[in-house]
Structure 1
Amino acid sequence: MEFRHLGASGLKISEITYGNWLTHGSQVENDAAVACVHAALDAGISTFDTADVYANTLAETVLGQALKGQRRESLEIMTKVYFPTGPKGHNDTGLSRKHVLESIDGSLRRLGTDHVDVYQAHRYDVATPLEETMQAFADVVRAGKALYVGVSEWTADQLREGHALAKQLGFQLISNQPQYSALWRVIEGEVVPASRELGVSQVVWSPIAQGVLTGKYRPGGALPEGSRATDEKGGKQMISRWMRDDVLERVQRLRPVAEELGLSMSQLAVAWVLQNDNVACAIIGASRPEQVTENVRASGVRIPAELMNRIDEALGDVVERDPGKTLEGMPKERLA
């Protein structure tokens, strides 16, 4: 396992990070979830990403149980706040001071720790003044409940505003957690240049494009039983944008590149995002321990420029690059 600095901070994280969105507390039984976390630890992963909204707080609880007994100083635990949790009352959502300060205490209790390494704004809250949100994060840091602060799916302008306020308040905004893969490159035009300027790293989710870049979905073929594309709990909806024959056919063209590098298709997908020097880590999920063992082999892989070009040629115009997609996918009003 290789490690990278997170933003301009001194914190290092494992470049393959284990995340439990759509798995722990919902799709996967607790015993299997714990086995996946232990497989991640055995593979050298030290960084774990979760959020209070995942399985309506159950994912944090499962992760805390799975990490119980581990040396806390050897781990980097990241969680998030914004989306509705609990009974989803009128203050159970957003980035108000009330919700941020109450949510960090709930996350720490469920995770079984006295602090998280990175506390992240899961989305930008248009209903709360940014000054209020950043002051709340500053107080979380000063209380020792979080060491650093990050965000998720913020635009370049929002990153600049948040970073400036954080600096004024005496803490560091060091990371952004966007969707990023060989198929979804919307951060490259504006978010990545702004992040480089500010000293912010990307902590990317869905590097395998919800499983499409594994190559297991073939144009015109039947959906594999038990795959995300058949999951009615949320996976099917997330993957639907890629389930077109033109995309699936283009993905199959990546197979010779993976074979030339001695990688599986999923390893190639994870290694691809790690070629971007603004990416600190790729978040992988798993429903089985062997998936962790396979994908962690992408750590340390260097893809030659010639093969990076071949990947671009293979995928062609099915790649989404529009930077406006970041803002387009953002909640326009607070979710309740």
Structure 2
Amino acid sequence: MQYKNLGRSGLKVSQLSYGAWVSFGNQLDVKEAKSILQCCRDHGVNFFDNAEVYANGRAEEIMGQAIRELGWKRSDIVVATKIFWGGNGPNDKGLSRKHVIEGTKASLKRLDMEYVDVLLCHRPDIQTPIEETVRAMNYVIDNGWAFYWGTSEWSAQQITEAWGVAERLDLIGPVVEQPEYNLFSRHKVEVEYLPLYSNHGMGLTTWSPLASGVLTGKYSKGEIPPDSRFALENYKNLASRSLVDDVLRKVNGLKPIASELGVPLSQLAIAWCASNPNVSSVLTGATKESQIQENMKAIDVIPLLTPDVLEKIEAAVQSKPKRIDSYR
């Protein structure tokens, strides 16, 4: 496993990481979570991601209990959680000072931890001034409840505004953004965020490298395996949006490239995300140890992504976003 700095910060995170979205609380209990997490650690993963909204808080409880029962040394791992959707009350969601502070305390209680390493704003909150959120995140850091803060699915403009507030008030700005990034979702990471990397040293912990499993190739015939994510009731809408003919045709076009390299398509897709120099860590998901073992081998695929191979991938997916400077 390789370890990269989280953006310009001094925090080192594993190039591949594990996220509890979908699995913890929906598909896995504590006992199963322990075996999954230990399998990740055995492969060098040190970064684990969660959120207050995952399984309505149950995902944090499961992760916290599993880590406690595994007896891990807290300083050996990096834990992130996200604040935005904390309940049904008018102040239980969003990024007001009230919810940031109360939500963080509630998350820490569920995780049974004194602090998280990284606290993320799970979405932008257009009803709360960004200055209020920046001040609240700094209050959390000043109290030792988190060491770093960041954003998830914010626009470059919103992140730039947050940095402007932080610099004006001599506060800590966001060090990381957590966007979706895969061969079918590229514009933010490759175009919109470009100024953020050099101007503010933003790192990325990207999610959905397999486009919710589409890039494993298991849906290529349009059939949904019963043990897959798209078989879950909550994800049926996502399945109908994702499993379209054009996407499945492109996935089929990637299969010969993976075969030529002698690797599964899933490893090729994860390695492609991790090879982007602006990506600090690629969040993977899994419900079985065998899936983790397969995902982690993507590290060995990164050196195989020569310019020639990358060109073949681009020809197959035809998803490269246009850069502003190439519109003419």
TM-score (norm. length: structure 2): 0.92
Change (3 A) 1:52 1:28: same
Q: CA shift at 1:36, angstroms?
A: 1.0
Q: Give the letter aligned to residue 285 of structure 1.
A: G
- Correspondence for 2:229: 228
Paired residues of 1:119 and 1:146 also in contact (CA < 8 A) = yes
State the distance in 2 between where 1:92 and 1:225 align: 35
SS of alignment partner, residue 91 of structure 2: coil
Going from structure 1 to structure 2, the CA distance change for 1:320 and 1:179 (only over 3 Å counts) comes to: farther
2:217 matched residue in structure 1: 215
Alignment correspondent of 2:142: 142
Contact 1:152/1:176 (<8 A) preserved: yes
- Give the secondary-structure state (helix, strand or coil) at the position aligned to 1:128: coil
Consecutive unaligned residues in structure 2, runs of 5 or more: 324-328
CA displacement at 1:163 relative to structure 2: 1.7
Alpha-carbon RMSD across the aligned residues, in angstroms, is 1.6
Q: Give how far 1:260 is off.
A: 2.4
| Cα distance in 2, alignment partners of residues 174 and 151 from structure 1 | 8
Alignment of 1:145-160 (within 5 A): 145-160=145-160
Distance 1:137 1:249 in 2: 44
Letter in 1 for 2:74: R
Shift of residue 293, structure 1, vs aligned partner: 1.1
Q: Which residue of 2 aligns with 1:312?
A: 314
Equivalent residue, structure 2, for 1:332: none
- Deviates most, 196-205 or 92-101: 196-205
Partner of 1:90: helix, strand, or coil? Answer: coil
1:80 Cα offset (Å): 0.4
Counterpart residue number, 1:241:
241
| C-alpha distance in 2 between matches for 1:278 and 1:97 | 30
Does the CA contact (< 8 Å) of 2:250 and 2:317 recur in 1?
Answer: yes
Distance 1:196 1:274, change over 3 A: farther
Deviation at 1:235, TM superposition (A): 2.6
Q: Which residue pairs with 1:328 in the alignment?
A: none
Cα offsets for 1:156-192 (capped at 9, x unmatched): 1111111222333432411000000011112122123
Cα displacement (A) at 1:315: 1.1
Kindly state the Cα deviation for residue 222 of structure 1 after the two structures are TM-superposed.
2.6
What displacement does 1:321 show? 4.2
The number of residue pairs the alignment matches comes to: 317
Asked if 1:41 corresponds to 2:47, the answer is: no
Aligned-pair CA distance for 1:320? 7.9
Question: C-alpha distance in 2, partners of 1:241/1:14?
Answer: 31
- Asked if 2 retains the 8 angstrom alpha-carbon contact of 1:38 and 1:66, the reply is no
In 1, are the aligned partners of 2:4 and 2:13 still within 8 Å (CA)?
Answer: yes
Q: Once the two structures are superposed, what CA deviation does each residue of 1:198-255 show, in whole Å capped at 9, x if it has no partner?
A: 1001110000000000011124x432222222211x2333343220122112101111
Decide which of 187, 196, 199 is 2:198's aligned counterpart. Answer: 196
1:131 — aligned with what?
A: 131
Query: Per the alignment, do residues 193 and 263 of structure 1 end up closer, same or farther by CA in structure 2, a change over 3 Å counting?
Result: farther
Match of 2:76 among 74, 77, 81: 74
Give the partner amino acid of 1:242. Answer: S
Q: Whole-Å Cα distance in 1 between the matches of residues 99 and 255 of structure 2?
A: 46
Gaps of 5+ in 1: 324-336
- Structure of greater relative contact order (alpha carbons < 8 Å, 6+ residues apart): 1
Q: 1:196 Cα shift? A: 3.4
**Structure 1 residues 293-320: Cα deviation after superposition (integer angstroms, max 9, x where no partner):** 110111252211111111110112xx38
Q: Give structure 1 regions of 4+ aligned residues with deviation exceeding 4 angstroms.
A: 320-323
Partner of 2:119, secondary structure, is: strand
CA contact (8 A) 1:50 1:60 kept: yes
Contact 1:175 1:201 in 2 (8 A): yes
Q: Which residue of structure 1 lines up, in the alignment, with residue 54 of structure 2?
A: 54
Question: Do 2:29 and 2:62's aligned partners in 1 also have CA atoms closer than 8 Å?
Answer: no
TM-score, normalised by the number of residues in structure 1? 0.90
Q: Which residue number in structure 1 is paired with residue 176 of structure 2?
A: 175
The AA in structure 1 aligned to 2:184 is L
Cα distance in 2, alignment partners of residues 62 and 196 from structure 1 = 37
Assess, with a 3 A threshold, how the Cα gap between structure 1 residues 129 and 172 changes in structure 2: closer, same or farther.
closer
Letter in 2 for 1:157: Q
Q: Alpha-carbon deviation of 1:256?
A: 1.7
1:25 aligned partner, one-letter code: G
More divergent stretch after superposition (24-33 vs 289-298): 24-33
After superposition, the Cα gap between the structure-2 partners of 1:191 and 1:14, relative to the gap in structure 1 and judged at 3 Å, is same
